[in-house]
Structure 1
Amino acid sequence: MHKNIKLLDELPFFQQRTIISVAEITTGLSQQSFKVRCLNDQLFYAKYFDKYNTEYAQIEKEVLLNSASSPITTSLLYSDEHWLVTPFIEANDLSKLNLPIKNKLNIALELMLTFQKLIIPSKKIKPISFIAHGDYYINALALNKNQQQILRSLLSDDDAIKAQQLTLCHGDFNFTNMLLNSPLTGIASDEIPILIDFECCCYSEVEYDIAMMIAVNNLLNYLSVDTVIAQIKVYLAQRMVNISTKKVMRYLGKSLLLNALWYICRFNRTNDNKWLILAKQQFQQADVLNNNKTSIVDRLKLHLPA
């Protein structure tokens, strides 16, 4: 049994209950999480943050505490430095629904607009800083001075972002983070999706959430960037929201790069090839997007296994 599963028994929340079974959830792309079944068929979702990610735990905790009355989030039952426990929701995530990408995008965009209206007073949620993210990966991947300079040049944009109007962003609109009770073939017209995974919340422009949604769902594997952005702009125009294609493109290249580096860190820790595959996809999409004559991997001199 995994050591983190053993730790669940020691949490005060579960010491008051009898754990019947624990199953690791492997569909998401964030922190390690578990479905915990207790006596009387009580189901809980337990999420573990290792020592590198406790700051993310604090962000998610504050979002959950401050959005308790919202129909699009769930309640926080227990938290400490490394663990968050919420009710387990028996539902399909949006990635599993047999719907056209356009329909999934519309659902995600409506959820995005609803989330961005939430008022979350928090000192933990900060304006997006690509340079700060870059510094994290510089340390995590032990990049040399030349690699550091190249990475910072690829991510440099913070001054331009600070000059713009910022809004609350989820930062990880992965379709796996949107839960619906609908059958796999569709959704009910009055159903409100549940949004999960708030550890990447930040303040940025609306275009950042859109760009990260495109990147993390690998939408460029299925549609051209022009087609994706056009579909998004049509839906948002119906909601009286206008976005800048130029800004989406600016954020998209950086989002793809950050995702790729995150996946490499995961691969280095787990040696699970799924993270390596995802990293290579994000790098490749960033190269195509930016018409790079020399790939980012080659520019950074990253040595990725074949």
Structure 2
Amino acid sequence: MTVKSLQGGLHNSVYLVSENVVEETSSDSSFTQIAPQHWVAKRLKSPLTAQYEANAQRIASDHDIGANVIDVEGPWIVSEWIPGVLLADESFPIEYKVQVLVEVLSRLGSLTIETKNNFNRLSIQSVLEELSFDVRLTDLQRKLLSSANKQATNLDTSTNEELLQLVHGDLNFSNILIENEKFKVIDFESAALASQEYELAMAIAVNEIPLDVLKEIFGKLCKYKGIVEFEVVMRNLFCCYLINALWYENQYLETKQRQFSTLAAKQWRLAENLHDELMK
């Protein structure tokens, strides 16, 4: 058995586990062959987080857009290994990435779940409060956070309970695998019950997609259940920029890796620009 470290997003430990397995090739067991088998093992921050992710991944797998869950043990999830290329690959043009993202959003938006008790309802305000606790903010950043908290309170209280869907919560192009012109979604750690406007907004924010492309995507998604008002998407987007900025700030505080500081600065800048647009 061999174990190889994989790039697991920006903070999780993910490994490719491989083993040569003896397989029988005839009914009388007289012929055998050695066949390599592969699995992906991922360590989450807690057993509860692992269970939530496994629950969401199983639903996606049942709808043929996620990897099969093999086992869950403590903070570990073992899944089938899916060979493919990440949508983040530079060989894919942005037009193709957007096309796939629209299909992913529409497919995820149609997922059905038997019980909502297996997932937390997202509270945008709670997420902002938790992420901002240890971060030292500039005056401008405090102003943006204060505005985001007001938007989050309104979004959290105004979202119709019946419109809550299971969302992935982090549709980064690096969380979408392309295999034989089909896609699979991976890394359901941020899965929760939320609005489709939030799902779309976070996908736009984390991929740093321009607002004119957002309008194009929104137009294509309007026919799907749950996507209602562009203005609601924009208010969610502002909050998502802040969530990402604060998350990156926390990762920088923990690791001192400059990439996180750079990513945080981009999200702060996007939030500032959108804030000015929303205040017009």
- TM-score class, shorter-chain normalisation, is 0.7 to 0.9
Compared CA separation, residues 50 and 69, structure 1 to 2 (3 A): closer
Tell me the TM-score normalised to structure 1 length.
0.74
Task: Note the C-alpha offset of 1:37.
Answer: 2.1
CA distance, structure 2, for counterparts of residue 167 and residue 114 of structure 1? 12
CA distance, structure 1, for counterparts of residue 214 and residue 13 of structure 2? 32
What's the counterpart of residue 92 of structure 1?
Answer: 85
Question: 1:211 aligned to 2:201?
Answer: yes
What's the counterpart of residue 43 of structure 2?
Answer: 48
Question: 1:133 aligned to 2:121?
Answer: no
Selected match of 2:241 from 244, 256, 273? 256
* Superimposed CA distance per residue, residues 238-272 of structure 1 (whole angstroms, 9 cap, x where no aligned partner): 66885422111101111011111111121222222
What's the counterpart of residue 39 of structure 1?
Answer: 20
What's the counterpart of residue 188 of structure 2?
Answer: 198
Between 1:95-104 and 1:274-283, the stretch displaced more is 95-104
Task: Note the C-alpha offset of 1:59.
Answer: 1.4
In 2, are the aligned partners of 1:31 and 1:47 still within 8 Å (CA)? yes
In 2, are the aligned partners of 1:229 and 1:245 still within 8 Å (CA)? no
CA distance, structure 1, for counterparts of residue 12 and residue 146 of structure 2? 26
What's the counterpart of residue 2 of structure 2?
Answer: 20
CA distance, structure 2, for counterparts of residue 50 and residue 255 of structure 1? 22
In 2, are the aligned partners of 1:56 and 1:199 still within 8 Å (CA)? yes
In 2, are the aligned partners of 1:138 and 1:148 still within 8 Å (CA)? no
SS in 2 for 1:248: helix
* Superimposed CA distance per residue, residues 34-63 of structure 1 (whole angstroms, 9 cap, x where no aligned partner): 222223422111111135xx4432211111
In 1, are the aligned partners of 2:5 and 2:15 still within 8 Å (CA)? yes
**Percentage identity across paired residues of the two chains:** 25
In 2, are the aligned partners of 1:72 and 1:194 still within 8 Å (CA)? yes
SS in 1 for 2:276: coil
CA distance, structure 2, for counterparts of residue 20 and residue 63 of structure 1? 28
In 2, are the aligned partners of 1:233 and 1:243 still within 8 Å (CA)? no
In 1, are the aligned partners of 2:53 and 2:188 still within 8 Å (CA)? yes
CA distance, structure 2, for counterparts of residue 158 and residue 167 of structure 1? 19
CA distance, structure 2, for counterparts of residue 77 and residue 50 of structure 1? 19
User: Structure 1: where are the runs of 5+ without partners?
Assistant: 1-18, 183-190, 293-306
Selected match of 2:104 from 111, 116, 131? 111
In 2, are the aligned partners of 1:72 and 1:193 still within 8 Å (CA)? yes
* Superimposed CA distance per residue, residues 203-249 of structure 1 (whole angstroms, 9 cap, x where no aligned partner): 22211111101110122xxx3x1x12221133225668854221111
Compared CA separation, residues 258 and 160, structure 1 to 2 (3 A): closer
What's the counterpart of residue 298 of structure 1?
Answer: none
SS in 2 for 1:78: strand
In 1, are the aligned partners of 2:169 and 2:192 still within 8 Å (CA)? yes
In 1, are the aligned partners of 2:172 and 2:207 still within 8 Å (CA)? yes
Structure 1 counterpart of 2:221, one-letter code: L
What's the counterpart of residue 70 of structure 2?
Answer: 77
In 1, are the aligned partners of 2:124 and 2:156 still within 8 Å (CA)? no
What's the counterpart of residue 153 of structure 2?
Answer: 158
Q: How many aligned positions are there?
A: 256
Alignment root-mean-square deviation, CA: 2.7
SS in 2 for 1:99: coil
Structure 1 counterpart of 2:12, one-letter code: Q
Structure 1 counterpart of 2:13, one-letter code: Q
What's the counterpart of residue 26 of structure 2?
Answer: none
Selected match of 1:123 from 110, 117, 122? 117
CA distance, structure 2, for counterparts of residue 239 and residue 106 of structure 1? 15
In 1, are the aligned partners of 2:39 and 2:78 still within 8 Å (CA)? yes
Any runs of at least 4 consecutive aligned residues in structure 1 with deviations exceeding 6 A, and if so which? 146-150
Selected match of 2:265 from 277, 280, 304? 280
SS in 1 for 2:79: strand
Structure 1 counterpart of 2:236, one-letter code: Y
Structure 2 counterpart of 1:25, one-letter code: Q
Looking at secondary structure, tell me which structure has more strand per residue. Answer: 2
